[in-house]
Amino acid sequence: MTAEVIYGSELAEKLRKEMQGEVSSLREKGVIPKLTVVIIGEDPASKSYVRGKQKASKEVGVDSNLIELPTTTTQQELLDLIEELNDDSTIHGILVQLPLPDHINEQQIIEAISPLKDVDGFHPINIGRMVAGKDTFYPCTPFGIITMLKSKNIQMEGKKAVVIGRSNIVGKPVGLLLLNENATVTYCHSKTRNMKEYTKEADILIVAVGKEHFLSGDDIKAGAVVIDVGVNRMANGKLTGDVEFESAKDKASYITPVPKGVGPMTITMLLHNTIKSARQFHN
Ligand code: GUN
C-alpha cells in the first residue's frame, strides 16, 4: 500500500482563506481580532515560530503585536504585563512563547493568563473543559491534528489510537481529543516497555517524540494512519520528522510529511482560537 500524504500546508491555506472572510465580516462590525505574542530571550527556534505567527496573522487580517523582553525579565514583571494584557479590551488572545527561562515559573505564568484569552489552550480551566468534553480553546497542535483527520474523513471512533509522547503541549491533549472522538487511546512514553508492541497495533499513530526517525515502516501496522509531529534538523540542515517517511509511506494508509504536515496547522488553529475569542468578546 502507498499512503495518501496529508499536507497540512494545503488544509491550512484553505482554512486561512475561510478565516479571511470571517475576519472581514467581524471588522465590518467594528471588531478587530487581535493577538499579542510575548517572547522572552533570544532562542532562534522560538523567534522563528513567532515570526511565522505574525506573518499568518497578517495574512488573515488578525492584528498582532509582539512584545519582546530580555532574558533578565523577572516573574513579577511578566505577571504585571499579563495583568495589563488581560485588562486590555482590544486584545482577544495572549500567547506567551514557551519554553521560558529557568528562573520563571512557567505554570504560574500560564495560570495568570485569562482563560478567556488563553488561545494556546494551556490554562487549567480550558484543559479541564477539554477533559470534560466541552467546547473551549483546544491546544493548537492537537486541535490541528484532529482537524486534519476530519478533513480526510478518517474515522476515529472505535479505533486503536497510540500516542507516543506525553508533553502538556502535544501528547497529553491529543490523546484526550482522540478520546473525545471515541478512539481507544494508549499513551507511550520514555518509560514504556516494549513500545513497538503498541505501535504495531495502532490504527492511528501519533508520534511526538522529537527524535529523528524514531520509528520506521517496520514499526507500524499495514494501513495505519501516521501523524508525525516531530520537527528535527538533520546533519545536512534539512528538517525531518520522527518517522522515516519513505518506509512508513509504503505501509500506511495516510501519513503526514515533515515539513508541510502538522506544523502549518498549529498556527492556523491559533488564528482560529483568536477569531473565536474575538467573536465571544463581542457577542
Ligand atoms: N512552544 C512550542 N509550541 C508552543 C505553543 O504551541 N505555544 C506556546 N505558547 N509556546 C510553544
How many Å apart are CA 104 and CA 138, to the nearest integer? 24
Range of the domain at 41: 30-114
Q: Is the CB of 140 under 6 A from ligand 1?
A: yes
Nearest-CA residue for ligand 1 atom 3 is 98
Residues 257 and 161 placed together within one structural domain of the fold: yes
Whole-number mean pLDDT of the chain? 97
Pairing of strands 232-233, 239-240: antiparallel
Express each pLDDT in 124-177 by its tens digit.
Answer: 999 999 999 999 999 999 999 999 999 999 999 999 999 999 999 999 999 999
How many Å apart are CA 85 and CA 91, to the nearest integer? 7
ipTM of the complex: 0.96
Ligand 1 pocket, mutate which of 36, 64, 104, 169 (most atoms under 8 A from CB): 169
- What is the phi-psi region of residue 260: left when phi exceeds 0, alpha when psi lies from -120 to 50, beta otherwise? left
164 contacts 171 by C-beta, under 8 angstroms? yes
Question: Residue 135 CB: number of other CB atoms within 10 A?
Answer: 8
Q: Is residue 177 included in any domain, yes or no?
A: yes
Count: domains in the chain = 2
Helices (H), ranges, the chain: 8-28, 44-60, 75-87, 106-112, 124-131, 140-151, 171-180, 195-199, 245-249, 263-281
H helices then E strands: how many in the chain?
Answer: 10, 11
Residues 162 and 246 placed together within one structural domain of the fold: yes
CATH number at residue 198: 3.40.50.720
Q: Is residue 35 included in any domain, yes or no?
A: yes
Express each pLDDT in 66-87 by its tens digit.
Answer: 999 999 999 999 999 999 999 9
